[in-house]
Structure 1
Amino acid sequence: MKTMRRVKGYAFVLALILTVGAVLAGCSPEKAGDIQKVRVGEVTRSIFYAPEYVAISKGFFKDQGLDIELTTTFGGDKTMTTLLSGGIDVALVGSETSIYVHQQGSADPVINFAQLTQTDGTFLVSRSKPAGDFDWNTLKGSTFLGQRKGGMPQMAGEYTLKKHGIDPHKDLNLLQNVDFANIPTAFASGTGDYVQLFEPQATMFEKEGKGYVIASFGAESGKLPYTVFMAKKSYIDQNHETIQKFANAVQQAQNWVQKNGSDEITEAIAPFFQDTDKEIIKSVVERYKSQGSFATDGIVDEQEWNHLQDIMQAAGELKQRVDHQTLVDTRFAEQAKQTVKE
């Protein structure tokens, strides 16, 4: 899902793309009559992003006069590079990426304007079934297959481990050298006693008897702006009405997801996951919905923003804290929450 390189992993591309981004800053999306085209890049294709697919499949974006061109940009660094260079108008990615760009310096900052998920989306999976109630201390001395350093999954994972008195770099044999896409395969082939997995891999492993979900990093690490729609400030300034319509459609989808059950949500998003069994999709939707992972509105509040930075700071990935108002614009989500009631 959100594969991130370390902060300095952005440096080699930012020097090139910030200049290009400045040149393209004045570009607006294509228009066709009353329809406004918006190019959206999602960091990965995931059931975790169910409200996004609901907004498309139920026609909520279309009802707002928006034509969404959705592409999967595979990784936080690639998503941000594509956004800054003008390849997409809006990115769906972790809020930490906007902070990484800010830390590198940018005349055209990336602004978070509509939150989609409000918890981490990973789960702790054990190779063997625990005997009795799970005790976090049983992880000590084990081989733990984690996510990539610098990304929110790994940072939320480390935050949770420390919360339970475990130093991930001293108490575990922590493996972070496996590419995101290969983590499930590595665990299935015998690497690690425990693994931190996104869905649907966690549920699939359970059904196949390859592992057991024993804890949720989302439930443990608390609410934070985990996945957010963001755009360059210049784009927002020049496309204020479009951003408001976008936020309205997101809010309508969030309302719909809250009102409907897993069966209805599964039917709405299944076309985006044609290679995944519907029962798996339904199980994943139920798991995410039950732990409150889907945000009920798009507002990135200051408390969540500060909690995100607490987690980044604990992981050693934050050079300096960034004020909420510097990289977050809540006007659009606040208006959408007030006006969109369906």
Structure 2
Amino acid sequence: MKKIGVTLLIAIIALLQACGGDATSSSSSNGSEGAVSSDNPVDITFAEPARILSFAPLYIAIEEGYFEEQGINAKISSGGGGAQVIATLLSGDSQFAINAPRAMFSALDSGEDLIAIQSLNSALTYEIALSEKYLENKNIDFESPLEQKLEALQGATIGIDQVGDSSDVYLRYLMEKYNLDQSGVKGVKLTGSGPKIGGMQEGIIDGGIQSPPFAAQVDANGGGELVLRLSEEEMYADLVWEVVFAKKEYIEKNPELAKKVVKALGLGIELARDNPEKAAASIVSYFDGIDEEMIASSLKGLQATYVGNGEMTKSGWDNAQGPLVEFSELSGVSKEHDTTEDVLWTNKYIKEAFSE
């Protein structure tokens, strides 16, 4: 009789385990996603501030099946700017964020414990397009020396997405670096390419600053042409940009998932750099009103920013942080954070993912 009772108890325990599932293969309340494989895929969400071509490796990784190969069902929560990205991440509605360093630094300033595991770009991607009329008056073009082009911006009215945003801060810092009066540049809030192009056509502004494909769109619509890429400045050619970050606790509990995420995104970086035509065909559906040829052309312009598989450097973090702290009243970033590796960023997962 005792033997029957023990057998029955074992059977009940086995049944309960089958119904409840294995704790190592499913998400739990502590943020651990468990084992991840193509047979046991995990759903994760990336928060992005807007649909931006600099984020191409993310879109490529989804469309080319790189995430699927890693056992990940990747989704995107898009829009709302940097503040919304942070709010989505901290609430748990997204597991990973991709944004300019400013958003992460602002959260760190507030005491949040975050860590970056990859940088989609290794240089600043902002470009400035100026109207034909302004270019004629200043007698400059894309081939002019950088200092001459910066001097020509004094007195210009420039369309920006948000007064005090990263584009505003990095441009003003660059002008001061060349001993120019940055206060002579008037920033006007015109969010998105369309309003900036319209403003240039109507003579309301002299130009605009934005990431690609902005200059290509300006040129296609007869509003002006590309004059300056901020990465022409050596400091900005070595700068972490569009970083992939998450709560440090989440990454520590999900190291295998972190490795799979950077693997998929790293392959996306490779394709964006090595085959921009194929990359453009893969992601053209992400950009309404922009044709494949323009996307391919813009990706070619970004090729130098897609370095390795998204590895980061201390100098890249220093160059990203310096201007934000220098212009803290504009950026909202008031504290200087330790940029030593493995403090607020790490290449650990990239090294592991691409050494296998």
Superposition TM-score, scaled by structure 2 size: 0.79
Aligned AA (1:155): V
1:117 to 2:129 alignment: no
The alpha-carbon distance between structure 1 residues 271 and 180, as it changes in their structure 2 partners (threshold 3 A), is closer
1:164 to 2:170 alignment: no
What does residue 231 of structure 1 align with? 246
The alpha-carbon distance between structure 1 residues 183 and 83, as it changes in their structure 2 partners (threshold 3 A), is farther
Report Cα offsets for 1:149-198 as digits up to 9, x if no partner. 443222221222223332221x33x1244445744443344322232133
The 5 Å alignment of 1:55-70 reads: 55-70=61-76
Are the counterparts in 1 of residues 160 and 191 from structure 2 also a CA contact under 8 Å?
Answer: no
1:217 to 2:230 alignment: yes
What does residue 83 of structure 2 align with? 77
CA distance in 1, matches of 2:230, 2:270: 25
What does residue 168 of structure 2 align with? 154
What does residue 301 of structure 1 align with? 313
1:126 to 2:143 alignment: no
Q: Secondary structure at the match of 1:334?
A: helix
What does residue 212 of structure 2 align with? 199
What does residue 281 of structure 1 align with? 295
What does residue 106 of structure 2 align with? 100
Are the counterparts in 2 of residues 116 and 229 from structure 1 also a CA contact under 8 Å?
Answer: yes
State the shift of 1:41 in Å.
1.4
CA distance in 1, matches of 2:126, 2:293: 19
Are the counterparts in 2 of residues 122 and 199 from structure 1 also a CA contact under 8 Å?
Answer: yes
CA distance in 2, matches of 1:191, 1:96: 29
CA distance in 2, matches of 1:177, 1:274: 22
The alpha-carbon distance between structure 1 residues 183 and 78, as it changes in their structure 2 partners (threshold 3 A), is farther
State the shift of 1:210 in Å.
0.7
Aligned AA (1:68): A
Are the counterparts in 2 of residues 143 and 175 from structure 1 also a CA contact under 8 Å?
Answer: yes
CA distance in 2, matches of 1:188, 1:76: 29
1:41 to 2:41 alignment: no
Q: Secondary structure at the match of 1:125?
A: strand
CA distance in 2, matches of 1:278, 1:37: 29
CA distance in 2, matches of 1:199, 1:184: 13
Aligned AA (1:241): E
CA distance in 2, matches of 1:150, 1:332: 33
Superposition TM-score, scaled by structure 1 size: 0.82
The alpha-carbon distance between structure 1 residues 105 and 141, as it changes in their structure 2 partners (threshold 3 A), is same
Are the counterparts in 1 of residues 157 and 188 from structure 2 also a CA contact under 8 Å?
Answer: no
Number of matched pairs: 309
Q: Secondary structure at the match of 1:296?
A: coil
Report Cα offsets for 1:108-142 as digits up to 9, x if no partner. x1211111012222211111244355422222223
The alpha-carbon distance between structure 1 residues 258 and 196, as it changes in their structure 2 partners (threshold 3 A), is closer
Unaligned runs of 5+ in 1: 1-23
The alpha-carbon distance between structure 1 residues 175 and 122, as it changes in their structure 2 partners (threshold 3 A), is same
What does residue 16 of structure 2 align with? none
What does residue 333 of structure 1 align with? 350
> Which structure has the bigger radius of gyration?
2
CA distance in 1, matches of 2:291, 2:91: 37
State the shift of 1:45 in Å.
1.0
RMSD between superposed Cα atoms in Å: 2.4
* Identity %, equivalent residues: 20
Are the counterparts in 1 of residues 169 and 323 from structure 2 also a CA contact under 8 Å?
Answer: yes
Unaligned runs of 5+ in 2: 1-27
Aligned AA (1:198): S
1:142 to 2:159 alignment: no
1:272 to 2:276 alignment: no
Are the counterparts in 2 of residues 29 and 89 from structure 1 also a CA contact under 8 Å?
Answer: no
Stretch moving more, 251-260 or 54-63: 251-260
